[in-house]
Amino acid sequence: MLLYKQKKNQGPKGNRLLISITVLGSAGPIRFVVKEEELVAAVIDTALKSYAREGRLPVLGSDLNDFLLYCPSAGSDALSPFETIGSQGARNFMLCKKPRTEKMEDDGSSTEAITRKGTGNWKAWINKSLNLKISSH
Protein backbone atom coordinates (compact mmCIF):
# COMPACT_ATOMS: atom_id res chain seq x y z
CA MET A 1 0.00 0.00 0.00
CA LEU A 2 1.38 3.37 -1.04
CA LEU A 3 1.01 6.44 1.09
CA TYR A 4 0.99 9.82 -0.60
CA LYS A 5 2.16 12.99 1.09
CA GLN A 6 -0.20 15.89 0.84
CA LYS A 7 1.22 19.26 0.01
CA LYS A 8 0.93 21.54 3.01
CA ASN A 9 0.28 24.93 1.44
CA GLN A 10 -2.37 23.75 -0.94
CA GLY A 11 -5.44 25.96 -0.61
CA PRO A 12 -8.80 25.50 -2.26
CA LYS A 13 -8.46 25.42 -6.04
CA GLY A 14 -10.90 26.81 -8.54
CA ASN A 15 -11.77 24.91 -11.63
CA ARG A 16 -8.96 24.88 -14.15
CA LEU A 17 -9.32 24.70 -17.89
CA LEU A 18 -6.92 23.62 -20.60
CA ILE A 19 -7.53 26.14 -23.35
CA SER A 20 -6.29 26.36 -26.93
CA ILE A 21 -5.70 29.73 -28.52
CA THR A 22 -5.16 29.88 -32.26
CA VAL A 23 -3.23 32.96 -33.32
CA LEU A 24 -4.23 34.23 -36.72
CA GLY A 25 -1.31 33.59 -39.09
CA SER A 26 0.56 31.21 -36.79
CA ALA A 27 1.33 27.54 -37.40
CA GLY A 28 -0.62 26.01 -34.53
CA PRO A 29 -2.49 26.75 -31.32
CA ILE A 30 -1.01 27.68 -27.97
CA ARG A 31 -2.23 25.51 -25.11
CA PHE A 32 -2.05 26.33 -21.41
CA VAL A 33 -4.01 25.92 -18.19
CA VAL A 34 -5.99 28.82 -16.70
CA LYS A 35 -8.40 29.23 -13.82
CA GLU A 36 -12.04 29.49 -14.78
CA GLU A 37 -12.33 32.87 -12.99
CA GLU A 38 -9.42 34.47 -14.87
CA LEU A 39 -10.22 37.57 -16.91
CA VAL A 40 -9.95 37.56 -20.70
CA ALA A 41 -7.33 40.35 -20.53
CA ALA A 42 -5.10 38.16 -18.33
CA VAL A 43 -5.51 35.24 -20.74
CA ILE A 44 -4.51 37.44 -23.70
CA ASP A 45 -1.45 38.60 -21.74
CA THR A 46 -0.47 35.01 -20.91
CA ALA A 47 -0.97 33.94 -24.53
CA LEU A 48 1.23 36.76 -25.84
CA LYS A 49 4.00 35.95 -23.36
CA SER A 50 3.83 32.25 -24.18
CA TYR A 51 3.83 33.02 -27.92
CA ALA A 52 6.94 35.22 -27.58
CA ARG A 53 8.72 32.72 -25.31
CA GLU A 54 8.26 29.98 -27.90
CA GLY A 55 9.71 32.25 -30.60
CA ARG A 56 6.76 31.89 -32.93
CA LEU A 57 6.23 33.86 -36.10
CA PRO A 58 4.84 36.32 -37.03
CA VAL A 59 6.08 38.53 -34.21
CA LEU A 60 3.01 39.99 -32.51
CA GLY A 61 4.18 42.43 -29.85
CA SER A 62 3.29 42.51 -26.18
CA ASP A 63 0.55 45.13 -25.82
CA LEU A 64 -2.61 43.25 -24.92
CA ASN A 65 -4.74 46.26 -25.89
CA ASP A 66 -3.85 45.60 -29.54
CA PHE A 67 -5.56 42.19 -29.57
CA LEU A 68 -9.05 40.70 -29.48
CA LEU A 69 -9.99 37.23 -28.29
CA TYR A 70 -12.82 35.48 -30.10
CA CYS A 71 -14.77 32.40 -29.18
CA PRO A 72 -15.73 30.74 -32.49
CA SER A 73 -18.69 28.92 -30.97
CA ALA A 74 -20.14 32.08 -29.36
CA GLY A 75 -20.61 34.16 -32.49
CA SER A 76 -18.68 36.88 -34.24
CA ASP A 77 -18.28 39.34 -31.35
CA ALA A 78 -14.98 39.63 -29.52
CA LEU A 79 -14.90 38.78 -25.83
CA SER A 80 -14.84 41.66 -23.39
CA PRO A 81 -11.49 41.96 -21.55
CA PHE A 82 -13.39 42.18 -18.26
CA GLU A 83 -15.40 38.97 -18.49
CA THR A 84 -14.13 35.68 -17.15
CA ILE A 85 -12.75 33.08 -19.52
CA GLY A 86 -14.95 30.35 -18.04
CA SER A 87 -18.18 32.27 -18.73
CA GLN A 88 -18.15 31.12 -22.36
CA GLY A 89 -18.16 27.42 -21.61
CA ALA A 90 -15.65 26.92 -24.41
CA ARG A 91 -12.00 25.92 -24.52
CA ASN A 92 -11.02 26.94 -28.04
CA PHE A 93 -10.38 30.58 -28.84
CA MET A 94 -8.87 32.71 -31.59
CA LEU A 95 -6.52 35.65 -30.98
CA CYS A 96 -6.52 38.39 -33.62
CA LYS A 97 -4.79 41.73 -33.88
CA LYS A 98 -7.09 44.75 -33.84
CA PRO A 99 -7.23 46.59 -37.15
CA ARG A 100 -5.21 49.81 -36.92
CA THR A 101 -7.01 52.98 -37.84
CA GLU A 102 -5.40 56.28 -38.73
CA LYS A 103 -7.10 59.58 -39.29
CA MET A 104 -6.32 61.08 -42.67
CA GLU A 105 -7.18 64.69 -43.34
CA ASP A 106 -8.08 65.62 -46.87
CA ASP A 107 -9.50 69.08 -47.58
CA GLY A 108 -10.24 69.67 -43.89
CA SER A 109 -12.34 66.54 -43.46
CA SER A 110 -11.17 63.56 -41.48
CA THR A 111 -11.77 60.00 -42.51
CA GLU A 112 -10.63 56.73 -41.04
CA ALA A 113 -8.62 54.26 -43.03
CA ILE A 114 -7.51 50.81 -41.97
CA THR A 115 -3.79 50.44 -42.48
CA ARG A 116 -1.67 47.34 -42.77
CA LYS A 117 1.81 47.80 -41.43
CA GLY A 118 4.61 45.68 -42.78
CA THR A 119 2.52 43.05 -44.53
CA GLY A 120 3.41 41.93 -47.99
CA ASN A 121 6.99 43.22 -48.02
CA TRP A 122 8.60 39.80 -47.66
CA LYS A 123 6.07 38.29 -50.04
CA ALA A 124 6.95 40.84 -52.69
CA TRP A 125 10.65 40.15 -52.20
CA ILE A 126 10.14 36.38 -52.55
CA ASN A 127 8.02 36.80 -55.68
CA LYS A 128 10.55 39.18 -57.20
CA SER A 129 13.48 36.87 -56.50
CA LEU A 130 11.65 33.81 -57.84
CA ASN A 131 10.59 35.59 -61.01
CA LEU A 132 14.17 36.33 -62.07
CA LYS A 133 14.57 35.21 -65.62
CA ILE A 134 17.23 32.64 -66.20
CA SER A 135 18.72 32.89 -69.63
CA SER A 136 18.88 29.67 -71.60
CA HIS A 137 22.03 28.60 -73.42
* pLDDT tens-digit profile, the chain (137 residues): 555 555 555 555 679 999 999 998 888 999 999 999 999 999 999 999 999 999 888 888 888 899 999 998 877 789 999 999 999 889 999 999 988 776 555 555 444 444 444 445 555 655 555 555 454 55
Task: Judge whether 46 and 34 are in contact, CB under 8 Å.
Answer: yes
pTM of the model: 0.65
Task: Judge whether 20 and 47 are in contact, CB under 8 Å.
Answer: no
Task: Give the strand pairing for 30-35 and 16-23.
Answer: antiparallel
